[in-house]
Structures are given as C-alpha cells and as structure tokens.
C-alpha cells in the first residue's frame, strides 16, 4: 500500500502555509516602513500624499521705502541743500553718513522722523557714503545705500582772524575776521562761524564791507573771560564757485580790565584798571589843524621802536614828501588803521606834555629816543598795556573815529551793531 501521497500532501500544505506566513510578514514589514517614512496624520501640516508638494509660505516685505538724494554715484554734488534722505510708508530708524575717512556727518530728523538732513555743510571734493534704514507700521525694515562726491571748487576762501590762539588780550578786543575774497552769501558764512564766551555772554557779528566780519558783546568783555572762535567754513559757498576751505578752533583769554581816557582839552590821560585809577599821565594830542579822533579805540599793535613818515598816512608837502620823517620813535601802540598811535615823543620839550596839543593826530607821551629809559611816562604806559586795551579820546575838535578804522566797533551802539545789514 502506498501511503506517500498522503504524506506528501501534508508536507505540501505545511510548505504552502509557511510561504504565506513569510509573505504576510514581509508585507507587514513593508507597511511598517512606509508608515514610518511617509505616513502621519493630516493635522501635522506635512504632505499627505494626496495633493503633491506643499508651496512655501510667502516672505513678508517691508512697505517702507528709503529715498536718497543725490542719486547713487553722483559727482559734483553741492555742499549745501543737496543731501536729503526720506522715508515713505514708514519712518527712518538709522541714518549714517560718513566721508571716506569714516568721519561722520551730523544730521537731524524732521517730519515725524521721515526726513534727514545734515546740520551743516559738507566738505568740497569729498566722497560720502550713506546707509539708511526705515521701518513700516508692522516693524519690518528696509535699507538703502548710496555714495556720491561733492563739487570741486573753482576758487576757495579763508578768513584771517585776530586775536591769535592762546593770546591774552584787553577787554576791548573784538574777534575780527578778514576774508581773502569778497563774500556775497553773508548768511551762509555767518552760519559757519560761532563765537562763544565763558562765562556766557551774547556775542553778535557785524559786517564792515564784504570782506570783514567782527564779533563783540554789548559791553566790553568781563575780565577773565575765555572766548572761543569756531570756524566751520569748509564747504560753505560764499559766492558763485567760491567755497570755504577752513575748519579751525581758536581760543583767547581776556585779561584785566584797563581803560585809559585821554582828555584833549586838559592834556591829561587817566589810566583806570579794574575800577581804580592807577596813573594820570600828561599828554599832547593833535594840533588844531590835525586833531586826534574822538571815540573809543583799541590797541591793535605794539612796537617798541619804529619809524614814522608822514607820507605813509597822507601828510605830504608840495613836493610829495612827508611832512615829517621821524626815526626811532619809541613805545608806539597803534589805535587806528589810518595811522593814529599812542607813542613816546622825544622831540618835543618837557613843558609841552600836559599843556599843549602839537601832534599830527597821535597821542604823545614824554620819552627818550630809542625807548631806552623805562622811567619815562611812555615806557610805563607801553609796559602796562596789552593788545585789546581800550583808549578813549574825548574833548577833541575832531569827529568820532569810524568803527571800521581799526578794531573800533565800540563806537557803534548795540542797536546799530545788531541791526540787519543789507
């Protein structure tokens, strides 16, 4: 009897079940792997396999727009009223302007922080870089950068000033600036100049013509005042094609208060220092045909010995020669540009001083030739005077000295000094 078919059939069924089990296990493993790699529920925000790849979220962009004038890369840009940075649909949060050396430009915001302009003028022939950032109502920022180069001037101007840096001067010394070129745009130049005092006092400028600008307070400086002149003229346009090339600070100190009063009628000079009379000196002033100027005058120059020739100040004879030519004039101190001095006189007799007026307009004090005797009145006055001291002449038969004849602006009232000028 053959029983193998039955045995064989059972083995075959067992083999078939085994293959189906392995197949089911493999299928389960594949499902597990698929679930682990790509599955997950739809609430996760990942692709669920039904709609393809998801689009990325749109990036938010600031609505603020920064505008810079002049345009990027501009050349020959004006130093004034050309640079302006604005923000529309937002406000400016950062503005940085600097030259090629990294020196920043100061500016100020206006219009609710939507407009930025420089406080002063830019320098000529200089490359500047602008970096500006604005933000919109949502706080989103936008930025812009530009570079430009300022104008190359056809001509430049500078101001020559007095007194000198570090000098100690008398209470009558104004700040006087003489420009080497005519100034047409006075307002712009004035904005580039500041004179400050410590202790503080109101200081105002006054123009004499178009090349001289003086500054002074209402009354003489207080003794001990420190005065600072700040020149910020680099880039200031004074006239068509004429730009400043000067940035400088100078300071001087006001010494003791000394005011000397010359009375041409009594032929005496009273020297007052810090409120007390310290000396009375006999003098001679201008003769009737050439009287001394009246008014307040400031000592601007001291010369221990000099030569005085009448031809240099308009006193000539019929041959065109000077009415006088005096060598070795001692202890001379200039009071006017036109040639008025206070000086030693060695050619007049001693009785002249205190009794007669015999000069060509100067104030004379007894002295010796060559300034060799410090006991003489002129020597004492010279040694006790400094640049900026005040000399007042009264009771002369002459008019009051012009305020621009020397540093003699004190002969203008404060209202005249500060009145608008055309």
Environment class of residue 381 by beta-carbon count within 10 Å: exposed (0-12), middle (13-18) or buried (19+)? buried
SS (H, E, C) the chain: CCCHHHHHHHHHHHHHHHHHHHHHHHHHHHHHHHHHHHCCCHHHCCCCCCCCCCCCCCCCCCCCEEEEECCCCEEEECCCCCCEEEEECCEEEEEEEEECCCCECCEEEECCCCEEEECCCCCCCCEEEEEEEEECCCCCEEEEEEEEEECCCCEEECEEEECCCCCEECCCCCEEEEECCCCCCHHHHHHCEEEEEECCCCCEEEECCCCEEEEECCCCCCCCCEEEEEEECCCCEEECCEEECCEEEEEEEECCCEEEEEECCCCEEEEEECCEEEEEEECECECCCCCCCEEEEECCEEEEEEEEEHHHHCCECCCCCECCEEEEEEEEEECCCCCCEEEEECCCCHHHCCCCCCECCCEEEECCHHHCCCCCHHHHHHHCCCCCCEEEEECCCCCECCCCCCCCHHHCCHHHHHCCCC
Residue 323's pLDDT is: 66
Domain covering 155-255 assigned CATH 3.40.50.450 in the classification: no
The count of other CB atoms within 10 Å of the CB of residue 328 is 15
Q: pLDDT (tens digit, 9 = 90+) per residue, 142-169?
A: 999 999 999 999 999 999 999 999 999 9
Same fold, 155-255 and 258-411: no
CA 81, 191, 119, 239 torsion-angle sign: positive
Tokens standing for 187? 């307002």
Is residue 51 predicted with pLDDT exceeding 90?
A: no
Q: pLDDT (tens digit, 9 = 90+) per residue, 63-75?
A: 999 999 999 999 9
Gap between the Cα atoms of 379 and 19, Å rounded: 136
- Per the prediction, the chain carries an average pLDDT of 88
Q: What is the dihedral of CA 63, 64, 68, 72, to 10 degrees?
A: -40
Q: pLDDT (tens digit, 9 = 90+) per residue, 358-384?
A: 999 999 999 999 999 999 999 999 999
Does the active-site annotation cover 37?
A: no
Q: Which residues pair with 268 in a beta bridge?
A: 263, 282
Question: Tokens 């007390």 label which residue?
Answer: 276
SS (H, E, C) 22-86: HHHHHHHHHHHHHHHHHCCCHHHCCCCCCCCCCCCCCCCCCCCEEEEECCCCEEEECCCCCCEEE
Gap between the Cα atoms of 219 and 214, Å rounded: 14
* Mean pLDDT, residues 116-125: 96
Calculate what percentage of the chain has a pLDDT beyond 90: 81
Which of 206, 331, 343, 360 is the catalytic position? 343
Does the active-site annotation cover 343?
A: yes
* Mean pLDDT, residues 294-320: 82
Domain definitions of the chain by residue range: 65-150, 155-255, 258-411
Confidence of residue 317 (pLDDT cuts 50, 70, 90): low
Give the CATH number of domain 65-150.
2.60.40.3780
Confidence of residue 325 (pLDDT cuts 50, 70, 90): confident
Q: pLDDT (tens digit, 9 = 90+) per residue, 240-249?
A: 999 999 999 9
User: Which CATH number, 2.60.120.620, 3.30.70.240, 3.40.50.1820, 2.40.440.10, labels domain 258-411?
Assistant: 2.40.440.10
Which of 206, 331, 360, 362 is the catalytic position? 362
Q: What is the reported pTM?
A: 0.80
């Amino acid at each position: 009897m053959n029983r193998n078919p039955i045995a064989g059939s059972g083995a075959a069924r067992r083999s078939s079940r085994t293959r189906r089990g392995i197949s089911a296990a493999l299928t389960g493993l594949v499902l597990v792997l698929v679930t682990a790699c790509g599955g997950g529920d739809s609430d996760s925000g990942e692709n669920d396999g039904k709609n393809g790849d998801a689009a990325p979220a749109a990036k938010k962009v600031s609505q603020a727009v920064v505008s810079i004038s002049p345009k990027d890369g501009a050349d020959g840009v004006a130093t004034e009223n050309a640079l302006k940075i604005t923000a529309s649909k937002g406000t400016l949060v950062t503005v940085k302007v600097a030259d090629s050396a990294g020196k920043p430009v100061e500016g100020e915001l206006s219009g609710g922080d939507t407009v930025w302009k420089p406080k002063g003028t830019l320098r000529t022939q200089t490359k500047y870089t602008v970096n500006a950032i604005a933000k919109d109502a949502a706080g989103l920022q936008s930025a812009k950068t530009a570079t430009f180069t300022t104008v190359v001037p056809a001509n430049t101007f500078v101001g020559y000033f007095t007194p000198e840096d570090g000098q100690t001067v008398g209470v009558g010394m104004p700040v006087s600036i003489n420009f080497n070129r005519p100034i047409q745009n006075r307002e712009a130049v004035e904005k580039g100049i500041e004179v400050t005092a410590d202790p503080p006092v109101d200081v105002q400028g006054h123009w004499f013509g178009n090349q001289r600008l003086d500054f002074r307070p209402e009354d003489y400086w207080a003794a001990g005042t420190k005065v600072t002149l700040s020149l910020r003229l680099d880039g200031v346009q004074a006239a068509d094609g004429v730009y400043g090339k000067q940035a400088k600070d100078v300071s001087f100190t006001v010494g003791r208060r000394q005011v000397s009063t010359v009375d041409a009628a009594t032929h005496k000079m009273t020297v007052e220092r810090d409120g007390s009379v310290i000396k009375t000196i006999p003098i001679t002033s201008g003769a009737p045909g050439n009287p001394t100027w009246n008014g307040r005058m400031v000592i601007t120059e001291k010369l221990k010995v000099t030569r005085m020739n009448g031809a240099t100040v308009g006193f000539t004879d019929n041959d065109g020669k000077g009415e006088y030519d005096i060598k070795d004039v001692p202890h001379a101190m200039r009071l006017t540009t036109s040639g008025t001095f206070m000086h030693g006189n060695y050619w007049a007799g001693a009785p002249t001083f205190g009794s007669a007026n015999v000069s060509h307009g100067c104030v004379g004090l007894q002295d010796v030739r060559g300034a060799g005797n410090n006991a003489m009145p002129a020597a004492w006055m010279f040694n006790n005077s400094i640049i900026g001291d005040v000399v007042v002449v009264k009771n002369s038969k002459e008019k009051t000295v012009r305020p621009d004849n020397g540093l003699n602006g004190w002969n203008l009232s404060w209202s005249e000094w500060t009145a608008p000028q055309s």
